Amino acid sequence: MALPEFFTTQIVYDERLFACSLPPENMALDLLTQKAAKYQARIGGSYLEMRDGDVFNTYVLVEPNGKVHRHDKNLPTMVENTFYVGGSDDGLCETQDGNIGIAMCWEMIRSQTARRLRDKVDFLMTGSHWWGTPDWAIFGPRHTNQYDVGNQNMMHITPGKLAELIGAPLLHALHAGALSGEMLMIPFTNIASKVNLYLIGETQIIDKDGNMIARLAPEKGAGVICGDIEIARVEPRAEIPDRFWLPPKMGLIKMFWWHQNLCGKSAYRRAKKNNMLTTYKSNN
């Protein structure tokens, strides 16, 4: 059972998120552990987790016997740099039923991810918090402008493409729906602009042969899908390209990536220096 990336929070520029990370032992993990035991299932999803003074985007995979596997996303994506730092593990989990690989969002479109998991896993657990374009006039009408259409198409084909490159079936869970907040505009400052976004919603199940067994289309909104697949690795059906990004063209998104990375990293350093990074305190 796969939950999306950041299943406990949204991620936009919102300084309240500095206080929304969780300690290694937390309520979200307890919930997954309870459900995994009750339904004798493996359950995975990610949240912000604080360890040793830094915050990570940690995907936890919980087995029915209570064993917990962790993968910290290796490179934060754009505004995510504001709230956590990257990890260095390989995202490979050894379980009783085979090796499970973990990848999140834009990890899924980087060649380094395919290389670290290729021929090593029997199954892939993936999740995303993938935005559509902002509602700014420069982009044009949402859902129909070239940037949004290209972004939607990239998300649609990514799970199947990753399964082909690695050689394993895959679950992919993605949020769907409106998202609002702010976006940092100038690096090394906290100058931000209000923004309305949406989360694309391409939840998919891909079998070992690369067939899409089930899909929750974006226009369907939030929901749940299920399907039967065989957990088994196969010979990869495509070669990994010799470049950083798997998609051949990133266009404006690539420029946006570098700008937002720079804005976010400086904001994280400021928050850490000013002791703004704290774990979430429940009122209950």
CATH number at residue 78: 3.60.110.10
Pick out the chain residues at pLDDT < 50: none
Is residue 3 a part of any domain in this protein?
Answer: no
Query: What is the pTM (predicted TM-score) of this model?
Result: 0.95
Rounded Cα gap, residues 169 and 284, in angstroms? 40
Among 251, 130, 259, CA closest to 202: 130
Tokens for 185, please give them: 């505009």
Q: Check residue 283 and give its pLDDT.
A: 60
The parent domain of residue 76 ranges over: 15-273
Domain count, the chain: 1
Tokens of 195: 């923004």
Structure confidence at residue 5 (pLDDT): 98
Q: Are 8 and 31 in contact (CB under 8 A)?
A: no
Structure tokens that stand for 161 in this block: 């493409």
Quick check: is 253 in a domain? yes
Q: Which residue has the tokens 């990257």?
A: 86
Spatial separation of the C-alpha atoms in residues 59 and 167, rounded to whole Å: 21
Strand pairing of 192-200 and 203-206?
Answer: unpaired
In a domain, 165, yes or no: yes
Domain-embedded: residue 76: yes
Strands across the sheet containing 203-206: 92-95, 98-104, 123-128, 170-174, 203-206, 212-216
pLDDT at 198: 93
Is residue 37 in some structural domain? yes
* DSSP conformational letter for 22: B
pLDDT of residue 90: 96
**Tens digit of each residue's pLDDT (9 = 90 or more) over 158-174:** 999 999 999 999 999 99
**Is residue 282 one of the residues assigned to a domain?**
no
Would you say residue 8 lies in a domain? no
Structural domain includes residue 121: yes
